A and B are shown apart, each in its own frame.
Chain A
């Protein structure tokens, strides 16, 4: 398996624009996580899915953020409208099983909102 695949790797957008980040988890993994990493706040869990169903979205910062998982092999994180403070590296990770098993991370999407 190629691992968790995220796209794009880099995104530069203007404030107010819609941004969509994409993730393909490892085949067979039933958990998918979206994290955001910044120097100030470290690595924050935004939302996670189990079998395509959102389980905990308490980390989503505002209504401008939304995430979907239409099937087991694809998830999106959307920011609309984007703001400069959304600039960060966004990671997708997937794992198999329950009880906090090993998470496999993608390479991340570096988002810059100007």
Chain B
């Protein structure tokens, strides 16, 4: 399968704590993206990191990419109850094709 895998499958933390989710993939990539999905809704793009980048920040989000290990991590700092959602990584292959391959997702629950 070309899909990535997120780890852990589920994560439960207290509000204010940091949440870290990991993603592993199999192919050479052009970029890696993280998406968020609230229950019953569509996916929403959070951040994109290119294959030549190692770290990227956006607000309370920090993404790292290690292409040698084919892995990425998403850190959400100072979590809020509103961050409760499923988080997916998606990879765009180096071939330049525009399709994205999504991982299995991490279900994050932030307890108020």
Contacts and interface: CB of A to CB of B under 8 A. Distances in A.
B102 A43 contact: yes
A98 B103 contact: no
Given A42-B104, A56-B97, A99 B92 contact: yes
A104 interface: yes
B42 A42 contact: no
B78 to A, nearest CB: 25
Contacts of B104: 42
B33 A108 contact: no
Contacts of B41: 107-108
Interface of B: 3, 29-31, 33, 41-45, 48, 88, 90-93, 96-105
Contact of A104 (B45, B96, B103): B45
Looking at chain A's contact residues, the main secondary structure is strand
Interface in A8-62: 31, 33, 35, 42-43, 45, 48, 50, 55-56
Contacts of A45: 99-102
A114 interface: no
Contacts of A105: 42-44
B52 to A, nearest CB: 13
B98 A108 contact: no
B102 A100 contact: no
Nearest to A6: B42
Nearest to B45: A102
Contacts of B42: 4, 91, 93, 105-108
Contacts of A91: 42-43
A31 B96 CA distance: 13
A35 B88 CA distance: 14
B100 A103 contact: yes
A25 to B, nearest CB: 13
A71 interface: no
Contact of A42 (B30, B48, B103): B103
Nearest to B32: A100
B90 to A, nearest CB: 8
Contacts of B33: 100, 102-103
